[in-house]
């Protein structure tokens, strides 16, 4: 028996979020980083830069609906997709040379999330902007120096799709009181 495919491709979501942020803000690869707990002690790039962290992976909204996908196969199976909407919270942090720079860049990203180009770019990856949070100033001392930092949480919508092959009986024969 094979394992089912994962219903949400988080690597594709991370890639889409990072690339969309890079494109919208005019930043290169070194200035938009995934900040995941698995990456302790990663090197910090020059400022300004952004980090992206998925903090709430997939909150279910409503019921999943089973839909038949295509027609029955000659091998005696039906493909069903059990799919439905999910919500995902992503935390964005911007590190700047000053708190004003960090806040201004985050406010710009907040505005860019409303633009058609950004929403189209995310939409191609199956991501919808549902709700943007407020921009917060989280500036603080870091390694004996002041660091400007702003933060914003954004709630995105995405679809969960669990494809499953279900065996079925194409035909059977009844003989007397027995099924063969």
Chain segment 113-139, per-residue pLDDT in tens: 999 999 999 999 989 999 999 999 988
Range of the domain at 16: 10-55+90-154
Q: Which two tokens stand for residue 115?
A: 């633009």
Judge contact between 85 and 63, C-beta under 8 A: no
Give the residues of the chain that fall short of pLDDT 50: 1
- Determine, yes or no, domain membership for 163: no
- Determine, yes or no, domain membership for 142: yes
Report in angstroms the alpha-carbon separations of 151 from 42, 77, 110: 19, 49, 10
- Determine, yes or no, domain membership for 161: no
Q: How much is the pLDDT for 2?
A: 52
Q: How much is the pLDDT for 1?
A: 44
CATH number at residue 113: 3.30.70
- Count structural domains, the chain: 1
Q: How much is the pLDDT for 141?
A: 65
Q: Which two tokens stand for residue 50?
A: 């952004």
- Determine, yes or no, domain membership for 63: no
């Amino acid at each position: 028996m094979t394992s089912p495919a994962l219903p949400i491709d988080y690597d594709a979501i991370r890639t889409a979020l990072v690339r969309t942020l890079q494109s919208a803000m005019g930043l290169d690869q070194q200035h938009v980083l995934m900040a995941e707990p698995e990456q302790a002690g990663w090197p910090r790039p020059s400022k300004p830069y952004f980090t992206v962290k998925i903090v709430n992976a997939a909150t279910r909204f409503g019921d999943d609906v089973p839909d038949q996908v295509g027609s029955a196969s000659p091998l005696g199976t039906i493909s069903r997709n059990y799919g439905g909407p999910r919500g995902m919270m992503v935390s964005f942090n911007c590190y700047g040379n000053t708190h004003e720079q960090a806040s201004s860049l985050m406010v710009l990203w907040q505005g860019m999330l409303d633009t058609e180009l950004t929403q189209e770019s995310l939409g191609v990856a199956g991501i919808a902007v549902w709700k943007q949070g407020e921009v917060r100033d989280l500036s603080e001392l870091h390694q004996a120096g002041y660091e400007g930092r702003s933060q914003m949480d954004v709630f995105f919508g995405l679809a969960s799709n669990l494809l499953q092959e279900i065996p079925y009986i194409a035909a059977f024969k009844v003989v007397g009181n027995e099924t063969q």
